[in-house]
Structure 1
Amino acid sequence: MIVKDLYLEVQGLTTHLLSAGEGERAILLLHGGGVDSARLSWEPILPALAETHCVFAPDLPGYGDSARPDIAYTMAFYIDFVTALLDALNLTQVTVAGVSMGGGIAIGLTLTHPERVNHLIPVDSYGLQRVAPAHRWSYWLVHQDWLNRLTWWIITRHPALAKASLQQIFYDPRKIDAALMNAVWEEVRKPHAGRAFRAFQRHEVLKNGLRTVYLDRLGEIKAPTLFIHGEYDRLVPLECAREAHQRLPGSQLVILPRCGHWPQREDPSGFVRALQAFLSTNV
């Protein structure tokens, strides 16, 4: 299966996407924050999904090979951007899967524009927890901009530290092979790496909790929903997905064993099986 690189102008921003597959059934894959991109999050599963769907995986603004303007990166900004991206792709309705920050965007899109989403798949999703891990420390670090910048500056110059950061989102660090590490290092070394995520965190991490918490609104979602979650996620604990599943009647929850915060990379075959089983029974 050929994976194509596409470039579109969306809201005046050059936007890079990976595209694969054909047909009327479309899937939009949204990556996470930090050091991430469409290729890093989704490349291993694109060929399998493209056998039955037309798949689009964009680099969100501030990431990958898309534009990286110095702007306010907020959840509202990303929801508006993804809506405009669907218009640019002429997609009236789409299945939306998102990991971490991308999952939060996917849920927000579904709540804001329910007519655009026919299936929702949050993966180890942001927006399902009320506080960050070690919230007081996280709040202090996020809002000490000089320290946050310094941390990113150090990481961009020391591959061992970049690998140590990546190990925090894996259950089994042996799954971090040389090819993945090289791809992460390439992303870390791009201009303004981390700027979009730092801005997003400053807006989201409040003194007493997180700004975006969807738990009380999940019952509004009508689209068939599958929560996929790594059993040993350190960033978004499994209990968050369990509560979300309970709050959304009719939803499904698949727990991928021996996986952390990036289950589609740690167990791509298990991830694809769960997603395809869900889509095949919710046509």
Structure 2
Amino acid sequence: MKVMVTGGAGFIGSHIVDRLIELGHDVIILDNLSTGKKAFIHPGASFYQVDLRDRRLGEILEAERPEAVIHQAAQIDVPTSVKDPLFDAETNILGTLQLLEACRRSGVRKIVYASSAAVYGEPVFLPIDEEHPVDPLSNYGISKYTPECYLKVYKQLYGLDYTILRYANVYGIRQDPRGEGGVIAIFLDRVLRKEALTIFGDGKQTRDFVYVGDIAEANIRALHRGSGRVFNLGTGVPTSLEELVRILGEVTEKEIRVEYAPERPGDIRHSHFDCRRAEKWLDWTPRIDLKTGLRMTYEYYLEAARRLP
């Protein structure tokens, strides 16, 4: 199958590309390299350095005619969405809308869309399932949810199939601690620099951490499953920041210093997913437990640090 991956030079997108090529698919990467990296571009894929908002997008899809598009490209930083909501909306909403138009005109069969736990806002019950109320607390949450509405309309009007994947806290190899900013990447970077970790609040707040390889596998399965459905992707296991630090200490075999700072306004206290729908309809369950995933990620960062001059 010919598949286009937007954001295919980024953290999650590059893992999806690797898996697609491993399975024998013909892959096209579309990435503006604002956060993606040339080093992550698989040599077996075609590559276009172009922004979602670029008018050339339609020409590329007309020329390549992919059967499916896995849409990972986005503005993903919550503080940026607050500081510059127009940029956030132009990228995540208008950029996605331009992609949908290009998909419609070029005969794309299906789009797999990367959404976020941010669409739910403050949980009213746990674990969060797909029927949980949508009530985003940030511009980013709004800009990730709005394309979900467009996807449903495009399926009704034009027959463009879709599957929506709402990610929990994704971590793993290739995540940029100073770019994409996941807490695990930040913590590991500071451990390697022998710096103290900063925890905002008391450290008892919980998150659902899911390994990037498992997320990539869910995207692959969604190419042929989950038509017109929304799925939560996580482990279903709540992990506190205190517990995360403890496991990091075991994995790195280092004594980790922690500094506590005041809780940040707007931070959600507890969040984890119910992923039974993905298990049923995508035949997907996460395979990498947190300790194993942290060990693989730490070894990756350790090796990268050794290569630095």
TM-score by length of 1: 0.38
Q: Mark the structure with the bigger radius of gyration.
A: 2
RCO (CA 8 Å, sep 6+): is it higher in 1 or 2?
1
TM-score between both structures, scaled by the size of structure 2: 0.35
